């Protein structure tokens, strides 16, 4: 299995390349971090928000999980990596922005629509996680049943981002920071095949493409 060996070779390239080229930056980062942006992204291996945004080390505080979900606070029982990361980002390092970063062709979204992990034994963890967006999933499936021409995958990807943006405001420290103008919340979707980024317009609830001059 050569995959891990490939990672080690990648480290060697990094150590001799970008690490050496940005040594002053890494020396500063060794003293601590102060990113102003938190990104909640999907764990999908095809989509890396640091690459999409061409971000430098230390620029973004990133949380990744299946389908870039932020559960509502009321649904959390016990410890939560999402709640802990949000609290650390907002109350600890005091980020100025939280970006929910969705993407097209999301495997978690596809599984939620298809019921691929509904098996109570083999798929219970993925199923339980995707239940956080069950209201959006059920609404999309009902709409698709009435109008077969609806792209259910795309609709749920967008609905999932909208729902996570709303759920962020159920955390008191997030709502308080936003209310006093110290924090802004954004939703975006990146299309892998097109390379297009769409930003959620809070006023209309629609995703608008970011213009790029070629």
Q: Which residues are catalytic?
A: 42, 44, 46, 103, 106
> Pairing relation of β-strands 60-65 and 37-42?
parallel
List the one residue out of 118, 119, 104 whose CA is nearest residue 67: 104
Contact 167, 72 (CB under 8 A): yes
Residue 160 to residue 131: CA distance in whole angstroms: 11
Q: Which residues of 23-42 are buried (b: 16+ CB within 10 A; e: fewer)?
A: eeeeeeeeeeeebebbbbbb
Tokens of 156: 């749920």
């Amino acid at each position: 299995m050569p995959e891990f060996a490939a990672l080690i070779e990648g480290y060697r390239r990094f150590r001799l390349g970008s690490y050496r080229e940005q040594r002053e930056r890494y020396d500063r980062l060794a003293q601590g971090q102060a990113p102003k942006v938190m990104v909640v992204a999907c764990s999908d291996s095809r989509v890396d928000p640091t690459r999409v945004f061409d971000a430098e080390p230390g620029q973004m505080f990133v949380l990744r999980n299946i389908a870039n979900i932020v559960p509502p606070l009321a649904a959390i029982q016990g410890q939560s990596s999402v709640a802990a990361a949000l609290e650390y980002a907002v109350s600890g390092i005091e980020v100025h922005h939280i970006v929910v970063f969705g993407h097209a062709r999301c495997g978690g979204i596809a599984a939620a629509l298809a019921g691929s992990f509904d098996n109570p034994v083999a798929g219970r963890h993925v199923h339980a996680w995707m239940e956080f967006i069950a209201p959006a999933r059920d609404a999309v499936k009902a709409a698709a049943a009435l109008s077969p021409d609806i792209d259910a995958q795309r609709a749920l990807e967008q609905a999932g981002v909208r729902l996570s943006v709303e759920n962020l405001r159920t955390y008191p420290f997030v709502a308080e920071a936003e209310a006093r103008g110290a924090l802004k919340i954004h939703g975006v979707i990146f299309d892998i095949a097109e390379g297009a980024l769409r930003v959620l317009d809070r006023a209309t609830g629609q995703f608008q493409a970011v213009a790029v001059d070629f």
